Amino acid sequence: MILILPAIDLKDGRCVRLVQGAPGTEKIYSDDPVQMAVLWRGENAKTLHVVDLDGAFEGKMRNLDVIRKMIGAIDIPVQVGGGIRGYEQVKKLLDCGVYRVVIGTAAIEDPDLVAKCVKDFGARRVVVGIDAKNGVVMTKGWQENTGIEAVSLALNMKTLGVCRVVYTDISRDGMLTGPNYDAIREMAQKTQLRVTASGGVSGYQDLIKLQELEKFGVDSVIIGKALYENKFSCQALWRQNEEKLEDLGPTRRI
């Protein structure tokens, strides 16, 4: 069964979603990302995917304090990306309880960093985020075209010991138009890496189609807007019930 990772994107300390990653398109879904993490945990999330958008745009992490509070509030693994450019940043995140870090821009600018992190922390704790538009990798908050093919980058990372990539199709992200199944399948088949898909999921039928790619190595998917806008059955009922709860239970620590 494919694993679903709810996405929490942090900007100015709030939980937002962008359209195709473009600055200025953000929609605020919560002023309290910690409470949002608790909500997803309460709805049975097994892992969270957190992105420091400020860090991605500025080149250094800006929301570490919020991330620490999120980790302290829930009892499931948290995967973090956005603005991670150096070894000490990776170590600091892992030391504060982050389960897995996602290295994006730095994978192109400093591949030796990836190799060192994989060697020191293990391939399960360090993955590479490959964000592509028309098959070409974009970096620095999806603003800079590298001219590098997504599959080529993945193969290069594989030689450094990377065993998983988070693959995002930027043109689908935040659009609710469905994932780019062909590109996701190509990434998995040509690289033989584990692939976490991201971008475009609009509802249950998309998950069924992604499930068919599991045999190629696509074992997980990051979902943002579709979850925030209740595109799955039962979500509206869950939210209605949660509004009336006074005791949030043992998995909700705040």
Residue 205 has pLDDT above 80, yes or no: yes
Work out the average pLDDT over 54-67. Answer: 90
Interatomic CA distance for residues 221 and 111, integer angstroms: 25
Residue 191 has pLDDT above 60, yes or no: yes
Work out the average pLDDT over 39-54. Answer: 92
Of 130, 138, 136, nearest to 22 by C-alpha is 138
What share of residues in the chain are helix, strand, coil (percent, to 5)?
A: 40, 25, 35
Label residue 61 by pLDDT band (50, 70, 90): confident
Work out the average pLDDT over 52-76. Answer: 92
Domains of the chain with bracketed CATH: 3-243 (3.20.20.70)
- Which of 164-197 are b and which e, b meaning 16 or more Cβ less than 10 Å from the residue's Cβ? bbbbbbbbbbbebebbbbebbbbbbeebebbbbb
pLDDT value of position 172: 81
Q: What's the per-residue H, E or C state across 198-218?
A: ECCCCCHHHHHHHHCCHHHCE
Active site residues: 9, 131
Of 43, 3, 1, 48, nearest to 235 by C-alpha is 43
